[in-house]
Chain A
Amino acid sequence: MFESRQKVISNTYPIWKYLLLAAAITLSAIYAAPNLFGDDPAVQVSPVKTVEFDQSTVDQINATLSQAGIEPKAFERQPEQFLLRFHSTDDQLKARSLLKETLGRQAVVALNLAPATPDFLSALGAQPMYLGLDLRGGVHFLMDVDMEAALSKTYERYVDELKSVLREERIRYLGLTHKSDRLLLRLRNPEEVTQTLNVIAAEFPQTFEPRANEETGEIALPLLAQVKSETRKYALKQNITTLRNRINELGVAEPVIQQQGDRRIVVQLPGVQDTAKAKEILGATATLEFRLVEEKGDARRAERTGYAPNGARLYHFRDGRPILLKRSIIVSGDNVIDAKSGIDQEAGSPQVSVTLDGAGGRKMLATTKDNIGNRMAVVFIENRVDTIEKDGETIKKRTTTKDVINAAVIRGQFANRFQITGLDSPQEAQDLALLLRAGALAAPMEIVEERTIGPSMGQDNINQGFLSVVIGFALVLVVMAMRYKVFGLVANVALTLNLVIIVAVLSLLQATLTLPGIAGIVLTVGMAVDANVLIFERIREELRHSSIQTAIHAGYEKAFVTIADANITTLLAAIVLFSFGTGPIKGFAITLSIGILTSMFTAILGTRAVINVLYGNKPVQKLSI
């Protein structure tokens, strides 16, 4: 009993607590350190899908650079890509345009800022903090995927498949149409309802939830909820993949493409300034359809009457001329693997060379074999979704334009490689090739939020943020030292350590640091001293009626409950903030929470350790508090 009391009141810490502190200091110093070294201007060279880099690429890059008299600071071979560091931004920009020229379509050449972390730190996994777009400049898009369109596309597909099944089974029907959230099948003979249901169940298992009317012979076919949700998931995934491909085409280092919620996609493009171009590429959903021309019908009559002959559909060229095309699609943009723009050697006009995948190639082969001398049309379909406000209500307007780009005679049998000609300009050929390469979107998308930060703004934000941390920090140090003398200085050491630990944790987590995040750090600095204020005020109080050692001991003990209570409530608010927040707000919530947690450690354990060394276990006349 007496032994334990003696230990407590003499205010000494067991050795393990000092070791723990020493470990915390060392680790946080290591992981916070990379932030001191800044960035190198760099160029990132990564191969496009089918290309692989080898030694010849390295030689090619080196030759190009040395020819121009540019000496890279470092040439790093990373998995999948090369990173070239330069001494100056001038070199970096020059190298980018040179390499783009040399490597052409084989590679994506992007500007980047590579952290100049020394090797011994990188070896330990230490990296600098990840700066948000508001600090480094760039574009943030939030895209909304039109799920209704994705679903109706699925229904349309089943219309085609169901028709051929019914034909095979010789079931006659009056109509098969797609109505908002179901297919509607009207049979000629109501007695065939049961047979039809069996056929549908056998051919499309686990797909529909049929509701039949035996008397009228009408069958409603809504998709199962599970199929719908799979369709939505697929659409989102497909769109993310497509966006990723398109963004690779733009040449952006470290793009972020993430799902948010169940129908939104976040796209962040650090360093991109030309938002017009980016929006064009991201926003449009274009695809191609290859269809045979219906040579029998009269397109002009169809336009006049509004009725196309059976099995055909009316389309228009870009200049407005009508043309009839067969309803069945040969291949669509989904089958396109590659598309390159170029100049047709014979005609001297722009063209796009298209490569199809295996399935597309087989279909094309089967079709062209029987149709040499007939015409094949390329239909360019562009979807746009605009949100417009009408009478105070927001509604979505979906515009689909279907233009026949050209209709050329099939000169010979071909499979997976062919050319599209008849384009207006080389620029159009390039754009079309880019969109084709990037693949088709499963559903149209709309940009519902955009935030662009210019590079000068980003730098200003960093400078202002940094300066306010420094000044706020200095002011707090002065006030603490004035009020609590030696104890205040001890608290200041703890506060400094707290700041280092926050930076280290942020670097370790690679959490995004935003401007509100910096504000969170500043606020933490102001609030972190609260724990020490509580303890020191309590010690002052205790000093009035107890001895020095007891006062120190009781001050820490009694203040602890209060500190914990107070911090848990702030943490509560931070968690609500985090769960609600979008990007920048999340940054604030993260730094605030980390700051609260680390401040408990440094303000209680850290200061106590120092105070114990200064005053513990020795006769003290007066506390400097």
Chain B
Amino acid sequence: MQNEERYNFMRFRGQALVLSLLLLVASIAGVAIKGLNFGIDFTGGTLVELAYEEAAEVDEIRAALQNNGYERATVQNFGSAKEVLIRIAPRPEESSAQISNNVMDMLAEKHSDAFELRRVEFVGPQVGDELTEDGALSLIYALIGVLIYVALRFEFRFSLGSVAALVHDVTITVGVFAWTQVQFDLTVLAAILAVIGYSLNDTIVVFDRVRENFRTVRDGTPVQVTNLSINQMLARTIMTSLTTLLVLAALIAIGGEVIYGFALALIVGVLVGTYSSIFVASSIALALGVSKEDLMKPVKEGEDASAQEEELHRIFLEEEAKREAREAEASAKK
């Protein structure tokens, strides 16, 4: 067993706690100071993406818009020099559904047919408000769902540990979006919900092993058992994170601008999630005082008794099989 315990992760619990706190403070500060660059899904407004045949004259387009009363319109290149993204905030006095038409007419006058419409998105202010509310609610529902599931499946201290890890992951991911000012739109929110699923996946796998080891490893403090479990799952944690990060790298590199924020959120989420499943989730469960007895305690008398019997039966089978295998090997050598 000892050789499996290659790294003493639990020794760095203190340092990890400090690091996590620093990251959390930085993230919250980022959201407070810089704020999130919300996309029109949440703010409402109009977005027009155009592809010009030649490099687009961003300044001219901006001037054209400003001369026609769209002072607050932002114009920027998007992806390449030929593509332009125009963003217009919700306007007080104009029927917003007509804005994209007006903009197109205005630019068509100036450049005739030199551009092509790539996409238009218009979201009314009330729809934006609803999406913001629904989005926040869905995050909360997801967290509550997780809290209940893990509490049922494991124990409430594990459940608190995993939810703390999730809040940690989500906060830091959002913090990255605040500091980088990458646009936070509906797909990013979807990615964050997926991060919840993924990071939890990682945490659960470790908890699962902690539970198993609490039951089968005779000696060792909870800290030692937890550390052993993390070590045992380390190869798996790294492999799965690696494959997931690989496909995400493909997405962020090739998926195009629309999917960029989505892929970025997942990459940050997977990295932070991997870290938190090693350092945060179990540490919190330990800090809350999870002990062997908590997991040994039967949930239901009957179920546990039959489970124990099954376990004994399985161990017997294994021993038998080992003997059988030794014999088989011996006979094969002959």
Contact = CB atoms under 8 A, between A and B. Distances in A.
A473 B209 CA distance: 29
Interface string B136-171: 011001100110011001000000000000000000
Interface string A513-526: 00110010011011
A448 interface: yes
Contact of B209 (A390, A464, A562): A562
A534 B206 CA distance: 11
B239 interface: yes
Nearest to B193: A577
A533 B126 CA distance: 46
A142 interface: yes
Given A389-B90, A480-B243, A526-B246, A451 B121 contact: yes
B116 A454 contact: yes
A585 interface: yes
Interface stretch (A53-61, A188-196, A541-549): A541-549
Interface string A558-600: 1001100111111111101101111011001100100000000
A273 B116 CA distance: 11
A124 interface: no
User: Which of B94, B125, B240: most chain A Cβ within 10 A?
Assistant: B240
B214 interface: no
Given A449-B124, A549-B321, A569-B200, A580 B138 contact: yes
Contacts of A582: 131, 186
B258 interface: yes
Interface stretch (A208-216, A314-322, A380-388): A380-388
Interface stretch (A221-229, A292-300, A416-424, A455-463): A455-463
B329 interface: yes
Interface stretch (B14-22, B27-35, B67-75, B96-104): B96-104
- Dominant secondary structure at the B interface: helix
Interface in A189-209: none
A63 interface: no
Contacts of B189: 585
Contact of B126 (A394, A475, A530, A588): A394
A537 B235 CA distance: 7
B251 to A, nearest CB: 5
Contacts of A464: 254-256, 259
Interface string B214-250: 0000000000000000001101100110111111111
Interface stretch (A41-49, A82-90, A108-116, A275-283): A275-283
Contact of A456 (B118, B209, B258): B118
A476 B321 contact: no
B246 to A, nearest CB: 4
Contacts of A8: 317
A537 B259 CA distance: 33
Interface residues of A, number: 91
B287 interface: no
A176 to B, nearest CB: 34
Contact of B190 (A525, A540, A567, A588): A588
Given A570-B197, A582-B186, A619-B332, A523 B321 contact: no
Contact of B194 (A461, A468, A473, A523): A523
Contacts of B122: 447, 449-451
B263 interface: yes
A554 interface: yes
A621 B100 CA distance: 70
Contacts of A473: 247
Given A465-B255, A584-B187, A573 B246 contact: no
B243 A476 contact: yes
A468 B322 CA distance: 46
Contacts, number: 271
A435 B73 CA distance: 34
A576 B125 contact: no
B305 interface: no
A479 B317 CA distance: 35
B120 interface: yes
Residue from A273, A279, A386, A526 whose CB has the most chain B CB atoms within 10 Å: A526
B60 interface: no
A448 B124 contact: yes
Nearest to B140: A576
Given A5-B320, A573-B200, A467 B254 contact: yes
A576 B142 contact: yes
Given A389-B92, A467-B254, A569 B146 contact: yes
A372 interface: no
B187 A516 contact: yes
A580 B101 CA distance: 30
A466 to B, nearest CB: 9
A448 B251 contact: no
A173 B155 CA distance: 72
Contacts of A389: 90-92, 125
A30 interface: no
Given A454-B117, A476-B246, A519 B255 contact: yes
Interface string B50-88: 010000000000000000000000000000000000000
Contacts of B186: 582, 584-585
Nearest to A452: B120
A584 B248 CA distance: 18
Most buried by B among A394, A472, A540: A472
B141 to A, nearest CB: 5
B236 A573 contact: no
A550 B248 contact: no
11 contacts: A446-B97, A449-B127, A468-B255, A519-B259, A527-B198, A530-B201, A533-B239, A533-B240, A541-B4, A550-B321, A619-B328
Interface of A: 5, 8-9, 134, 142, 144, 273, 275-276, 279, 283, 384, 386-390, 394, 446-454, 456-457, 460-461, 464-465, 467-468, 471-473, 475-476, 479-480, 483, 515-516, 519, 522-523, 525-527, 529-530, 533-534, 537, 540-541, 546-550, 553-554, 558, 561-562, 565-574, 576-577, 579-582, 584-585, 588-589, 592, 619, 621
Given A454-B116, A472-B247, A475-B247, 19 more contacts: A9-B317, A144-B124, A283-B97, A449-B127, A451-B122, A456-B116, A457-B118, A471-B250, A472-B248, A472-B249, A472-B250, A516-B190, A522-B248, A522-B251, A554-B318, A558-B212, A566-B200, A567-B201, A580-B193
Interface of B: 4, 49, 51, 90-98, 100-101, 104, 116-127, 131, 134-135, 137-138, 141-142, 145-146, 149-150, 153, 186-187, 189-190, 193-194, 196-198, 200-201, 204-205, 208-209, 212, 232-233, 235-236, 239-240, 242-251, 253-256, 258-259, 262-263, 266, 317-318, 320-322, 324-326, 328-329, 332
The 4 A-B pairs of least Cβ separation, nearest first, read A547-B325, A573-B197, A472-B247, A448-B124
